[in-house]
Structure 1
């Protein structure tokens, strides 16, 4: 390019050389500034990456392992007759808890319904779901209040096992602990522990207790509609209590079914049948057979031996017990009007002394002394001690 004076005359060669050097110097300076800025940016990006990797992989190891996860899921002692038939299941920590089912024993429909309701990206994140966090933040900013949560199933498992006051600090600690759990346990192990420890309301701990308590059936027999119903309850067991707010519980069930459809985890025909299926709820608080016998047995056991979910097999034969109960009812019916209202029976095996049946009263629930165990209660000897 020809350099000229303002009047259009060519500049002297020396001036043109000086201008070229100035232009080159400016270009070099600009390049140096740009390179310096790029180095700063690269250092900043590298620092962010290092901090991110440290927070994701190293920092979680600072968190203590939740002690509750090293202990078995609570289950009440199961007392059976000599043939293994259940007589009673004791509470575990104040909760009705059946033997915790393994993941393969839980219906696939319930597993999918729970994932759809609580954390559909469970198998795709590492304990913290950035997509859910971003969505919850966006929704919260738009609404001006907390609209939806971003807790993953792993975070909820930590929350179930390490109760804390609900603060931002707690949220951060749960996230870090969830990352540690994810780095040690498999996804299936986390999901199994989560399902076993879920509170389904009305003191039902775990899906097996919930299926028995709300539908009076084994967990394996629950339909898609029933599984969706159960999967919806842990979000808010009190607000969705079926015995007080059945409409809310059913509305939540329908939402879970819709989620299954949106995610493509259930076909249209199955969903249509599930939506139309009437729910047959029935209160079931567990088996309560041979109550006086079981009460007598428990009175002889130390309190510490009742926890742990073990099976305690007794000598009682439930078939003989039922035969004796029918005999008591028949005998009292014949004595009606003769001021005889109670009766007691004990059936022993002569060769061993084992108790095969024990009835303490006409009806354990009767208001007129039904819970008095006439088989062992002290009574006046009457005329038997007269000389």
Structure 2
């Protein structure tokens, strides 16, 4: 410590120390008072995964000022610039004292300014802060150059120079000139092209690319010959460059993926270069397929489409098409169909059934009844307005039937399903969650193509949802975060069902065709035929397709099957034809078991037709099948007996046991209304004294305790319907204890309600009755 003090005192006595310290203090004070501001206002450039430019925007001061990254400054470009502008760039502190002294001497001896001494650093200062060319300005530039050298590396200063040099008009920077006049990025430039671009900034008005190309070639060759004399490049390289023609003219910058480009520019406003994960060839191919396809269906009054292509392994978005034509103002081409909120139609059904599988409510072969059903006044119909009676869950999903889906949602509970949708990232559903009901499964909510595609990519990834990745990982925010929605078992069962091709949503003329790719897919058509969806996936890719009109206009021909799916198939055939990536494997926790074909339950003693079904071990239901039951009847099967009226001679010709289908009342009502023959249980013994203890007719419509709103100016009617036992031939409807009408049990009866409380009663011809209460209000 003592030695350090001694050295300090000795230094302080030196004459040069105090002046130097004074200069340093002055420089520091000036730097604090006049800080250097290096804030070039770059154009936003959107690049593809391979670095090629997809889209570019003017800077906010209306300049084409494309940022050149350090990796784009090739050794040839670096050597050419340094040889021409500042050979001692890497050695001086921002100014070249020798060059400055030589310039001062020449200017004084000639009486005029004959040469300058601006280094690249000083030129950068002048480009950042333009001033009149005076000696006072030179002093300020000198001060700023030293600041620049202190706070920035040499490579960063060179990069600023490359980005700011003028090329006439509103074009600045070598990359801007390279892309606009030569149609290529700086790293692909030849020596002749590099030399061309380095000479323009000194004479941007007289050496105008595309106009004065002959003069530019003469000046270029003069500098190439100077490079040959200095030995900067090999002679053969110089000879080739001298002979190279100049093909320079004003070009338009690429404009691929305009919707994504605008989206990323808005979300990253201060980032001059945004590296996306789009594949340029895939983007161009998909844009072309969409444009051509919409051109074909435009005659049907269908004007737009949107497509998203996702790589399942990386979740990288490899193609993003927001509309059929961005510049088509008449059809709303600038609307981003990938993010537009639309009705999903039936596209959410796979997630519903996957949740039901995971909750142990059913398996693919579980049989449900597709019959007319009222859910508290909500009476859904199928797309074709038909009902199919008993049908397996996998068939209900493959055929996109509505009643089984609504029944499943009612069993699960709407809140549980909505919570899963929120977990899957459906933002509009998060906002609508409090008002959503059973209709959510048939499209009564808002979703985007982006959200649906991400959901189906989760099926492809074994039930794990991950964020879509639009930009390179080092720039993205948490794209690798995983969120398990469903089990791998449920995901496999859904995939297995959606792979079936014997289904109504297979487009016309695609069956038994080589055009059919091996994918799992689901279609959807919104109410009013306003939106057609088709989302498909295989091991490698998930592709989401929406087709429709941004105006919301419905079209009779619009459907997911015949309009959206052909485009989906075309894209898959283009990007992954005859894929060798394999198919999905069954998880080890998934087992196979025999079930009864009539119910999908574990076979019971009366099950004769058995089939194989999947089951999630420890989760799937284990119910014994009871699709048939024994009934005591007389010998000819015209009367049935209960335990109270069974003859004492049971087992003889007086009473025998027979097997009958154990049908649900709703299915019996369906068969009766459609006059579909089935094995009926004979009417109960009319002599039985305990018959009145049995249940009376069940009122199916209206719904007990509900409120119904009517418009007094436009009278509306409500339907009365019920389910009754087989032996009932007639029922009697009462309104507020007054007989309204006699009808058959399966007949629908209509009446015009009046505002107020209303008691509705239904009695059968056995004297049994049921009552409900509703309230009718005027709108």
| Residues 344 and 374, structure 1, Cα contact 8 Å, conserved in 2 | no
1:345-360 pair list within 5 angstroms: 345-347=304-306, 356-360=321-325
2:271 paired residue number: 308
2:98 paired residue number: 131
2:290 paired residue number: 324
2:433 paired residue number: none
Q: State the shift of 1:81 in Å.
A: 8.0
Distance 2:22 2:227 in 1: 34
1:9 paired residue number: none
Structure 1 residues 101 and 301: CA distance shift in structure 2, 3 A: closer
2:136 paired residue number: 169
Deviation per residue, 1:74-102 (Å, 9 max, x gap): 44334478999754211223222434311
Distance 1:271 1:85 in 2: 28
Structure 1 residues 306 and 229: CA distance shift in structure 2, 3 A: same
| Residues 210 and 249, structure 2, Cα contact 8 Å, conserved in 1 | no
Q: State the shift of 1:155 in Å.
A: 0.9
Distance 1:243 1:129 in 2: 35
Structure 1 residues 122 and 128: CA distance shift in structure 2, 3 A: same
Matched, 1:148 2:115: yes
2:64 paired residue number: 96
Matched, 1:240 2:207: yes
| Residues 67 and 173, structure 2, Cα contact 8 Å, conserved in 1 | no
Q: State the shift of 1:138 in Å.
A: 4.1
Unaligned runs of 5+ in 2: 1-13, 310-318, 336-548, 557-779
1:268 paired residue number: 235
| Residues 76 and 306, structure 1, Cα contact 8 Å, conserved in 2 | no
Larger relative CO (CA 8 A, sep 6+): 1 or 2? Answer: 1
Deviation per residue, 1:209-267 (Å, 9 max, x gap): 32222211121111111111111122233332213332443333233323323433223
Distance 2:156 2:268 in 1: 28
| Residues 221 and 242, structure 2, Cα contact 8 Å, conserved in 1 | yes
Structure 1 residues 313 and 181: CA distance shift in structure 2, 3 A: closer
Q: State the shift of 1:134 in Å.
A: 3.2
Distance 1:95 1:357 in 2: 27
2:601 paired residue number: none
1:198 paired residue number: 165
Distance 1:105 1:233 in 2: 19
Q: State the superposition RMSD in angstroms.
A: 4.3
Q: State the shift of 1:133 in Å.
A: 2.3
Q: In terms of Rg, which structure is larger?
A: 2
| Residues 66 and 163, structure 2, Cα contact 8 Å, conserved in 1 | no
Structure 1 residues 106 and 50: CA distance shift in structure 2, 3 A: same
| Residues 321 and 357, structure 1, Cα contact 8 Å, conserved in 2 | no
| Residues 113 and 256, structure 1, Cα contact 8 Å, conserved in 2 | no
Q: Aligned with 1:237: secondary structure? A: coil
2:37 to 35, 58, 68: 68
Comparing 225-234 and 157-166, the one that deviates more: 157-166
Deviation per residue, 1:337-375 (Å, 9 max, x gap): xxx9x983213579xxx97451248xx4xxxxx544445
Structure 1 residues 55 and 328: CA distance shift in structure 2, 3 A: farther
1:279-298 pair list within 5 angstroms: 279-289=246-256, 293=259, 298=262
| Residues 77 and 312, structure 1, Cα contact 8 Å, conserved in 2 | no
Q: Aligned with 1:88: secondary structure? A: strand
Distance 2:92 2:22 in 1: 15
Distance 2:154 2:79 in 1: 14
2:77 paired residue number: 110
Q: Aligned with 1:127: secondary structure? A: coil
Distance 1:81 1:189 in 2: 24
1:121 paired residue number: 88
Greater per-residue strand proportion: 2
Distance 1:170 1:75 in 2: 25
Matched, 1:344 2:303: yes
Structure 1 residues 262 and 131: CA distance shift in structure 2, 3 A: farther
User: What TM-score do the two structures reach when normalised by structure 1?
Assistant: 0.65
Structure 1 residues 51 and 151: CA distance shift in structure 2, 3 A: farther
1:224 paired residue number: 191
Distance 1:61 1:112 in 2: 34
User: What TM-score do the two structures reach when normalised by structure 2?
Assistant: 0.35
Q: Aligned with 1:123: secondary structure? A: coil
Structure 1 residues 255 and 63: CA distance shift in structure 2, 3 A: farther
Structure 1 residues 349 and 101: CA distance shift in structure 2, 3 A: closer
Q: Aligned with 2:114: secondary structure? A: coil
Number of residue equivalences: 315
| Residues 290 and 359, structure 1, Cα contact 8 Å, conserved in 2 | no
Q: Aligned with 2:37: secondary structure? A: helix
